[in-house]
Amino acid sequence: MNRPTPLRHLPTARAAILGGILLAGVLPGPVGAASSPTRLVDGSTGLAAPTPSTVRLVKVADVANPVQVTSPRDGTGRVFIVSKNGRIRIVKSGSLLAGSFLNLSSYVSKGGEQGLLGLAFHPSFKTNRKLYVNFTNASGNTVIREYKASASNPNVVARGSGRTILKIKQPYSNHNGGMLAFGKDGYLYIGTGDGGSGGDPGNRAQSKKSLLGKMLRINVNGRTATRAYKIPSSNPYVGRAGRNEIWQRGLRNPWRFSFDRANGNLWIGDVGQNKYEEVDRAARTRSGPGRAVNWGWRVMEGRHCYNPSSGCNTSGKRTPLVEYSHASNGRCAVTGGNVYRGSAIPALRGWYVYGDYCSGEVWAVSSTASKPAKWVTLLGAGSGRLVSGFGENDAGELFLADLNGSVYRFASN
């Protein structure tokens, strides 16, 4: 590999806690950012920018190796925590319920960046009880699988309800992506890494023939004679050269993406190679958010040439909204988050919150910012937290997952 993993940047004790997860990628302040927090105005709210004194974290639960926090938005107020070890736990009325909602621990590969990596609830979950998970199986390959919650006990998955939707062969054990989410169009979006190793040796992220290094978009409300899903007719390569499932290409390892619940815009935290991390934004249009966008990897890392190292062809490549380098605080890999649309922290409304896995820093950038965007710091380095994921509850309140074993809720300070 010619790209170090975050373990290489961690003290031995932290590396042991990590168990080798994630994302190979490493970071200074965002491009264009001042050395101290800059007062900005979010054009969508007119509110002054949040500052380090805006938020605090309140512990919600202790759960092994959490990587995602999400909600079915079914009115129950439940929060679901995805653990890399293969289990999904529920927090209800402020308490962690005993047992697992779903336990795939005997089916998932758990080493390095592998494991249970994503969960998405069907937009009609309240009536059809369907949910979707993304994990690496015992062979190290990506599996997207559908389940149903039990009709008699909504806090467990119904036995025998599993159905495999899609499998993707992984050539290496790292860069699996793992996030999946439903857009406002009702389709399931799946973020895939470039297949691993370092530098994308197979150039898979740019290849229209490979599902790796992509944002995929499929219709799970139906199937064909050969697939357990359908292809939306508006996908960019339908009727053209390229895999029909592909929505976007040129991603290295999209570690957490999300849709702004207010407008459907797509936000992606894409982990870099050796120097730069990036946050990408695609505005929702009639055809969908960012149709056929090429995010540039492996030709580009962030806004910079990677292969070749200079004079690369940037034509047709979309540059990131935010870029930061690996120059300080032990930064190593971006963790994408969410645009805050809750009510508990008024100063944070309309701001996209994200962080760095290794340094534990958390930042916010205005969801309406022009690029290259400035950011503000919400939580500084030195906490020891391994920021492995973010998420929302029914009401749009924001959560943070620390791979060390804790989940926190953002609260007003």
Write the DSSP string, 206-257.
Answer: T-TT-STTEEEEEB-S---SS-SSB--TTSTTTTSSS-TTEEEE--S-EEEE
pLDDT of residue 147: 98
Going by C-alpha positions, the residue among 70, 47, 58 that lies closest to residue 349 is 47
The total number of structural domains that make up the chain: 1
Distance CA 244, CA 173 (A): 25
Q: Is residue 324 part of a domain?
A: yes
The Cα-based distances of 49 to 52, 268, 363, 381 in angstroms read: 10, 22, 11, 20
Can you tell me whether residue 15 is helix, strand or coil? helix
Res. 124: pLDDT tops 90: yes
pLDDT in tens, 194-229: 999 999 999 999 999 999 999 999 999 999 999 999
Distance CA 160, CA 165 (A): 15
Q: Where residue 255 sits, what CATH number does that domain have?
A: 2.120.10.30
pLDDT of residue 28: 34
Res. 168: pLDDT tops 80: yes
pLDDT in tens, 78-119: 999 999 999 999 999 999 999 999 999 999 998 899 999 999
Averaged pLDDT of the chain: 90
Where would I find the beta strands (DSSP E) of 30-86? Answer: 55-62, 66-70, 79-83
User: Residue 25 corresponds to which tokens in the numbers above?
Assistant: 């990628």
Distance between start and end Cα atoms, the chain: 43
Q: Is residue 127 part of a domain?
A: no
Which domain does 275 fall in, by range?
A: 6-76+172-412
The answer to whether 8 and 238 are in contact (CB under 8 A) is no
pLDDT of residue 47: 58
Which H or E run includes 258?
Answer: strand 254-259
pLDDT in tens, 69-80: 999 999 999 999
Res. 32: pLDDT tops 60: no
Q: Is residue 94 part of a domain?
A: no
Q: Is residue 39 part of a domain?
A: yes
pLDDT of residue 48: 77
Q: Is residue 38 part of a domain?
A: yes
90 — alpha (psi -120 to 50), left (phi > 0) or beta?
beta
Q: Is residue 112 part of a domain?
A: no
pLDDT in tens, 306-350: 999 999 999 999 999 999 999 999 999 999 999 999 999 999 999
At residue 46 the predicted structure's pLDDT band, cuts being 50, 70 and 90, is low
Q: Is residue 113 part of a domain?
A: no
Neighbour count for residue 360 (Cβ, 10 Å): 22
Q: Is residue 239 part of a domain?
A: yes
